[in-house]
Structure 1
Amino acid sequence: MVSITAWQAVMRYFPPKSLSDKKARHSYLEKQNEWFERVYGAEYVKSLVAGIEKRAKE
């Protein structure tokens, strides 16, 4: 949990530069969505993750 919180705080200062970076960010957002759904019992907006996934494939 600490690493997720730390990443949330600093990820805006480290934009993805490579495909590996984009995949890591995508994976992080997917896990964040799963956590949100588990904790709050509601679906998180997944369009952001879908958009990032689409751009990563371009």
Structure 2
Amino acid sequence: MTINKNELFKAMEVYNYSQASLARKMKIDPVTLYYVLNDKRKAGNKFINGLKLAFPDEVVKNIVLI
């Protein structure tokens, strides 16, 4: 799946998440978040589920592009 990085960065700012704190909230390795943000890896199910842990559903709908 594709991630709308602009929306993700906006949400991170609103929720005051750094990349490290977002990775902790998502329960993923910070390196995985880095790779997705830098187009070195696609977002998989674990990543999407992590977004659901870190953000409300309405925010996730804006971040995940199907």
**Same topology, TM > 0.5:** no
TM-score range, shorter chain: 0.3 to 0.5
Flag the structure with larger Rg: 1
- Larger RCO (CA under 8 A, 6+ residues apart): 2
Kindly indicate which of the two structures has a greater share of residues assigned to helix. 1
**Structure-1-length-normalised TM-score:** 0.39
Kindly indicate which of the two structures has a greater share of residues assigned to strand. 2
